[in-house]
Amino acid sequence: MATAKKKVYKVGIIGAGAIAQECHFPGYKKDRRSKVVAFAEPTAERHDEIKERFGKVEGYTDYKEMLKNEDLDIVSICTPNAFHAENAIAALKAGCHVLCEKPIATNLKDADKMIAAAKKARKKLMVGFTHRLFRGPQKCRQLVKDKKIGKPFMIRVRFAHGGPYPSWAKNAWFYNPKLAAGGALLDMGIHAIDLALWMMGPIVAVNGMSRTLVKKIPVDDNALLQVEFKNGSLGYIEVGWTSQPGFSGVEVYGTEGSLICDYIKGLQLCEGDASAGGDGSAKWKTLDKTPLKGGWDVEIKHWLDIVEGKEKLEMNGKAGRDALEVALAAYKSSDTGKKVILGK
Ligand SMILES: NC(=O)c1ccc[n+]([C@@H]2O[C@H](COP(=O)([O-])OP(=O)(O)OC[C@H]3O[C@@H](n4cnc5c(N)ncnc54)[C@H](O)[C@@H]3O)[C@@H](O)[C@H]2O)c1
């Protein structure tokens, strides 16, 4: 008896810059369930780069033409932030499942429209919150959920690097307020905020300070957020485009232990009393020496599992919107010098 041929999802990618080339193109290519058949990219030199790196694939300069001409099942959106909503809504209307890069959009109205478009089209909309797919944060969340550290009362998230230029982004948009809608806070902070929400639950109040401290750019290059969670616990988020990673990662403190997930040094669990002059009962256990395993390497597999209904869609439109709401509240707080209460 002949076995039924497995469906291969036809994929289109909108925006063929750095994240498309480092995560999306290779991820779809290595998974037999998918094939990138087309991409849309206005910059001509990128077309040659893509064909050289990823082989035969139809290139368009206008994403609308791509959606019209190709019978796609899935679209990845890898354009500058300001285009995410327009691209995603068009792809959903064309009947595609959509994996949209973070931040979901640049304002909450657009995020709401994207969520409504996915619902109307009965298609899946996932946001690329890559940090949730690193092994370290995943283990931390599981241990928090399993009450391994008792009641968590504080989270700290810090991410820093030298910024998107000169080594990362292919086009000059990250420092353009119209296209990016924010700087380090919206770019890296959105990952940190998402991790905090994912581990601790909803945020009800935000104090933010976003500043341009070092680079001569019209968006923020450093930001600090103090957040209060609905469950009463507190959070501290620090992101920057102008310093070394240093401590990069997540720490969660609970009534019965602490989780220190240093992205470079490893994930440690401390149980017992670690305070100076304490009872000396602290026990440190290394749970994972390579907490950065996963991420982009597994993102597309995870996404295809979701499209196939094998895994639950958690990095959904609502998660994207929730993180964006906190980031925008932090900018507002920074501008006004006042704490912003969410949901008002
Ligand atoms: N999940 C992650 O870890 C991660 C990492 C980096 C970037 N990102 C996100 O990915 C998105 C793209 O960032 P990047 O670093 O790849 O930037 P990039 O500049 O390298 O790539 C963006 C590409 O989009 C193209 N583009 C611009 N306008 C377009 C349009 N109207 N239609 C189609 N293509 C268009 C540009 O020419 C460029 O090639 C951003 O939203 C960014 O926040 C996510």
With cut-offs at 50, 70 and 90, classify the pLDDT of residue 92. very high
From 127, 157, 180, the end of a domain falls on 127
Q: Is the pLDDT of residue 192 over 90?
A: yes
Residue 31 C-alpha to ligand 1 middle, in angstroms?
A: 22
**Same domain (yes/no): 170, 283:** yes
pLDDT digits (tens, 9 = 90+) for 211-234: 999 999 999 999 999 999 999 999
State the Cα–Cα distance between residues 307 and 248, nearest whole angstrom: 32
**Same domain (yes/no): 150, 284:** yes
For the chain, the domain total comes to 2
State the Cα–Cα distance between residues 170 and 192, nearest whole angstrom: 24
**Same domain (yes/no): 162, 123:** no
Backbone φ, ψ for residue 5 (5° rounding): -75, 135
**Same domain (yes/no): 196, 85:** no
Q: Please give the model's pTM, rounded to 2 decimal places.
A: 0.97
With cut-offs at 50, 70 and 90, classify the pLDDT of residue 273. confident
Whose CA is closest to 195, among 156, 230, 143? 156
Half-sphere exposure at residue 111, Cβ-oriented, CA atoms within 13 angstroms: 22
**Same domain (yes/no): 121, 141:** no
**Same domain (yes/no): 184, 330:** yes
- Which of 13, 14, 19, 22 is the best mutation target for the ligand 1 pocket, counting ligand atoms within 8 Å of the beta carbon and taking the most? 19
Q: What is the mean pLDDT of residues 95-116?
A: 98
With cut-offs at 50, 70 and 90, classify the pLDDT of residue 160. very high
Q: How far is CA 265 from CA 246, 249, 288, in A?
A: 10, 10, 9
With cut-offs at 50, 70 and 90, classify the pLDDT of residue 6. confident
Q: What is the mean pLDDT of residues 75-80?
A: 98
Q: Which residue has the CA at smallest separation from atom 37 of ligand 1? A: 43
With cut-offs at 50, 70 and 90, classify the pLDDT of residue 3. low
State the Cα–Cα distance between residues 50 and 37, nearest whole angstrom: 12
- The reply to whether 49 falls in a domain is yes
How are beta strands 125-127 and 257-262 bridged, if at all?
unpaired
pLDDT at 72: 98
Q: Is the pLDDT of residue 201 over 90?
A: yes
Q: What is the mean pLDDT of residues 66-93?
A: 98
> What is the biggest distance separating any 2 CA atoms in the chain, rounded to whole angstroms?
73
Q: Which domain holds residue 265?
A: 131-294+324-341
Residue 74 C-alpha to ligand 1 middle, in angstroms?
A: 17
Q: What is the mean pLDDT of residues 239-266?
A: 95
Query: What is the rounded average pLDDT for all residues in the chain?
Result: 96
Residues enclosing ligand 1, CB less than 6 A?
14-20, 40-43, 46, 63, 78-81, 83, 101-102, 128, 130, 168-171, 173, 187
**Same domain (yes/no): 66, 195:** no
**Same domain (yes/no): 147, 269:** yes
**Same domain (yes/no): 246, 195:** yes
Q: Is the pLDDT of residue 240 over 90?
A: yes
